[in-house]
Amino acid sequence: MKFITLFFLLAIILTVNVLVAESKGTYNRHSRKAVADTIIKLDTTKARDRKLLKVKKSKQTKPNLNTDGQGVSNTYNITPAVDTVIKADTNKNRNIQAKPGIPGKPQTKLPEADTTKKKDGIQSEVKAVAEDSTIVDNEHNILYLYGRARVTYEDFELDADYIRVDQKNHLIFASGSIDPRTKRYVGRPLSKSKNEKPIASDSLLFNYTTKKGKLYNPASEQEGNFISGGQAKKLNETEVAYRNVIFSTCDLPYPDTHFGVVITKGIGEKNRIISGPAYLEIEGVPLPLAIPFGFFPKPDSRTSGVILPTFGEDAKLGFKLAGFGYYLGLSDYMDLTTTGTIYSKGSYEVNSTARYLVRYKYTGNLSLSYGSHNYGLPGDPAVKDIHIDWTHSQDPSANPGSTFSASVNAGTSGYFSRNPSTSNYNVVTAAQSSLRSSISYGKTWAGTPFNLSVGIGHSQDIANKTITIELPTIAFGMSSINPFDSKDRVGEQKWYQKITVSYNLNATNKVNSIPESELFKSTITRRLQNGFQHQIPVSLGLNVLKYFQFNSSVNYTERWYFQSVNKHFERGSISSSDQLLVDTLQGFKRAGNYSLSTGLSTKLYGTLNFKGNLKAIRHVMTPSIGFGYTPDFSDPSYGYYKTAVSQASVPYPYTYQKYSIFENGVYGYPSAGKQAGISFALDNTIEAKLKAKSTDTSGTDRKITLLQGLSFSSFYNFAADSMKLANIQFSGHTAIFKQKVNISFSGSFDPYVTAVHDSIANNTIVRTSQRINKFRWANGQFPQLNQLSISMSGSLNSTSAKAPGTPNVNTLQGAGAPQLQRLALVNSDPNSYVDFNVPWNISLNYSYSYSNYLNQVSTSNTLMISGDVSITQKWKIQYSTNYDFKAMKLASATSFSIYRDLHCWDLSFQWVPFGYLKSYNVTLKVKSTILQDLKLSKRNDYSSNRTFY
């Protein structure tokens, strides 16, 4: 086993060195130019090329001069390449008479004989056009096209830099040409027939009546398969004969193809290639792996087949056979992939994924996973895990007015921690603390203010192993309307016509925080919580005295429940040992509450002018004051609250507790305590005006936002018996370094004094704190900061430094079907995608929090860093870590990755240096999805306790 491992490691090192040397140009397996400068060269020492050279090269023909001494076209920017096929004798130093026309102007019209008569008598015309020049030989009925030439005949299309059309023999010859300035071979022929994909070649000869032809060094692609090099002869519309071509998944044409199967002779049909002798070639080196004959699929649709497994080892589960299964192409709209993993110690995993797509209607995928693992001693019961993942999205144009979407991510709590291989050992996925799901249907009625939404939801706490399910949730709403306004109104609205009314109905059936083990038991029905909530807000907004905005609103909320609670103390309980019992009562109960609010706001502007680059600073203040009123719904007259009283017993007094009978309601319950007070807030924005830069030709001053928002707010409740002033809240946001770094902060100040008392209990000093009804500024003190949070985030990359107005090439709107298909693969496995287009990228997220409640202080201070850097165009390093300044150490979620783009291959190295998922993984694999199982991996599993560095 060690010898085999050593052999594969040496093979990897040798292959990587060759590929790196090839990319740098230091390795030369052929004495040739780069692919951009090559054309097939004919060698007289080779038998196959001597057949092509048995006819001598023809000389360039020159057109006769007109009477004014000018030819039809005597200026050529590009010299045509020498034909590599047998030429007709009519090309040998024969005079060519130009078709009469304007002297000196290229003629693009074909001779009258340029039509082909079909059996049914319909005439088909050969259409030709050239950008540089066109020469017509009327004597021999031959047309010469130079410079971006194009010829079309029925369903056949041909583009090349040089095209010769022999209308007498119905032959078309096309080739590229040597650019005299760059010395590169440019304008290669690109041909296409019917619905086939375009085929590039160095040169071709085609009979447009029999539809037969020859191509030299062809290059074509079909569903990830590439054929290049050698020769191809089109026998009919469905069959092509190949000779010495390379069949590969590498998209580099011959002779730069990294690897593939060389088919010496073969016949290609629509969906397959039947070959004679064939052998494997890597980096131009033939390997002693050959077959006398073979069959190579060339599918144009999904094809079912077996998925090959990979071998590995887990330190706790044993040797494994991973990823074996079967791919089933059910139809053009749906496929199914089923894979499994078996361990030598009895554990196993099974995954089945279905993908479906109906264009312009909907798309989605459904994945079901099951795992059985035994991390204990032999004979211990295995731990079962399941997981379901479903995403569904509907095309907006499929059914206007209605939508359906699904995002399901549910399973047992230990699925990701006990099955880390399913997420490619991703630290973030394995350490996630919650799962959420939602399935929703929405409906809107055109021309009406009504809308409806129906759905089900799920949330799961992995740490506590509890699940909350909402089945179903209903939301019906009516957008704001003006009930007193008239459709036929002329002129401005009167004050009462500005009154707006809206309506919202919500209903749900919910199971809250149920343990996973009780999810499918019969007792779950007794834990259902359901209810309805109606909300009717009425509002009015007016401009008062030109500079003030007046707002007033009345909000009414009605709740309907089918359960209520009743609390009582156990009979005989006393205050020293109270036993409070809670009973759930079935039956319909309702609760209604309302609130009134009104407010007035305006804007104040202040400007400071300066001289120099800083021209002015503007301060915008938005003060607002309002009045709010909410009744005390705990009053016994409403019937929403009750009081539980214990039995009084000497020497213990009685104990009581006030509670709401709807305290377990899904939509809450009316609040206790009367509120009648004034709210006040102040928002600030500060901007600066800078002088235009000397390079700015428009001369427009620059505006910079120094502080995007700094607000203070509080509330004074006149109805409270004490502590009438609420905590003073503040928040702010700004951005620096040209909006690249965002800073947000928030917190609160306590205006009241906190008294500290010391007492002795059990020979120890106990310190207690209590707020008292006294303002701190009465003692000359500033309000105490009891909460503060600061967050900073920024992302810098090389693309942010590009010139303004530079278009983004890679956009989703411009993506084609192949790009969208590859994007779907990326979404299913984000770790398999590395963006080499961005040279460097770094993301910083800093978080600080401070809390001081009754002199109990707690803080946190962390920094998260992630990003990547491309050392070269082919090398990229990715990193991610968290640093805790309070603990002075890195978090366990630290990972490094190194990627090497080997064009057709990917070499990757992932390393988690410490923590629960400490591991490393080296993988060399083929990029093509067709050969996704062709890879070589070396992994030290996360569950291994051995030191690997």
DSSP string, 712-745: EEEEEETT-SS--BPPEEEEEEEEETTTTEEEEE
> Could you count the other beta carbons within 10 Å of the beta carbon of residue 592?
14
CA atoms of 364 and 406, how far apart (whole Å):
9
* Number of other residues whose CB lies within 10 A of the CB of residue 813: 5
What DSSP letter does each residue of 176-198 carry, written as one string?
Answer: -EE-TTT--EE---EEEETTSPP
Spatial distance between the Cα atoms of 173 and 214, rounded to a whole number of angstroms: 10
- Give the residue from 190, 213, 184 showing the smallest Cα distance to 202: 190
Task: State residue 934's pLDDT score.
Answer: 66
Using DSSP's 3-state secondary structure scheme, residue 207 falls into strand
Q: DSSP 3-state assignment of 76?
A: coil
Helix (H) or strand (E) holding 427: helix 427-430
Residue 248 contacts residue 226 (beta carbons within 8 Å): yes
Position of tokens 């027939």? Answer: 193
Which residue type occupies 64?
N
Asked whether the whole model's pTM tops 0.95, one would answer no
At 508 the pLDDT is 94
Per-residue confidence (pLDDT) for residue 223, from 0 to 100:
65
Q: How many CB atoms lie under 10 A from the CB of residue 546?
A: 6
**Torsion of Cα atoms, 768 then 773 then 779 then 783, to 10°:** 80
Residue with tokens 């749906």: 334
**pLDDT reported for residue 575:** 52
Q: Which residues in 217-315 belong to E strands, given as ranges?
A: 219-222, 225-228, 231-234, 240-248, 259-268, 272-275, 278-282, 285-291, 294-297, 305-307, 310-314
**Separation of alpha carbons 787 and 746, rounded Å:** 8
Contact 729, 713 (CB under 8 A): yes
Q: Computed from CA positions of residues 108, 110, 112, 116, in that sequence, does the dihedral angle turn out positive or negative? A: negative
Residue 96 DSSP code: B
Q: What is the spatial distance between Cα 827 and Cα 718, in angstroms, rounded to a whole number? A: 56
Taking the alpha carbons of 11, 16, 22, 27 in that order, is the dihedral positive or negative? negative
What is the predicted pLDDT for the residue at 526?
77
Q: Measured between alpha carbons, how far is residue 654 from residues 16, 284, 577, 742, 844 in Å?
A: 83, 95, 11, 56, 57
- The pLDDT of residue 800 is 53
3-state secondary structure of 921: strand
Q: How far apart are CA 682 and CA 924, in angstroms?
A: 60
CB 943, CB 316: distance < 8 Å = yes
* Residues 860, 539: Cα–Cα separation, whole Å: 43
Which tokens belong to 348? Answer: 């196993």
Buried b (16+ CB within 10 A) or exposed e, 737-773: eeeebbbbbebbbbbbbbeeeeeeeeeeeeeeeeeee
- Alpha-carbon separation of residue 714 from 668, 679, 732 (angstroms): 24, 6, 15
Largest Cα–Cα separation, the chain: 137
- Which string of DSSP letters, residue by residue, matches 592-610? EEEEEEEEEE--EEEEEE-
State the distance between the two ends of the chain, measured CA to CA, in whole angstroms. Answer: 22
pLDDT of amino acid 710: 92
Query: Is there a contact between 392 and 405 (Cβ–Cβ < 8 Å)?
Result: yes
* Structural element, H or E, at residue 819: helix 817-828
State the burial class of residue 567 (Cβ atoms within 10 Å of its Cβ: 0-12, 13-18, 19+).
middle
pLDDT in tens, 283-321: 778 888 888 888 777 666 667 888 888 777 777 788 888
Give per-residue pLDDT as tens, 613-642. 889 999 999 999 999 999 999 999 999 999
Q: Are 475 and 452 in contact (CB under 8 A)?
A: yes
DSSP per-residue codes, 469-511: EEEEEEEEEEEEE-TT--TT--SSPPGGGG-EEEEEEEEEEEE
Report the CATH number of the 35-297 domain. Answer: 2.60.450.10
Amino acid at 940: N
**Rounded CA gap, 283 and 823, in Å?**
29
In b/e form, how buried is each residue of 157-170, taking b as 16+ CB within 10 angstroms? bbbbbbbbbbbeee
Domain residue limits, the chain: 35-297, 321-432
pLDDT of residue 6: 42
Is residue 158 within 8 A of residue 152, CB to CB? The reply is yes
What is the per-residue pLDDT for 51?
43
Confidence (pLDDT) at 569: 82
How far is 506 from 719, CA to CA, in rounded Å?
A: 32
DSSP structure class, residue 915: S
User: 655 φ, ψ to 5°?
Assistant: -125, 140
Q: Please list the ranges in the chain whose pLDDT falls under 50.
A: 1-16, 18-113, 118-122, 801-833, 943-949
Residue with tokens 């290229």: 106
Sign of CA pseudo-dihedral 420, 421, 422, 426 = positive
- Kind and range of the H or E element at 10? helix 2-24
Query: Dihedral of the CA atoms 594, 600, 603, 604 (nearest 10)?
Result: -130
- Cβ neighbours of residue 328 closer than 8 Å, sequence gap 6 or more: 304, 335, 336, 337, 338
**In whole angstroms, what is the distance from residue 894 CA to residue 658 CA?**
50
What span, in angstroms and rounded, lies between the C-alpha atoms of 519 and 516?
5
**Number of other residues whose CB lies within 10 A of the CB of residue 91:** 20
Helix (H) or strand (E) holding 384: strand 383-394
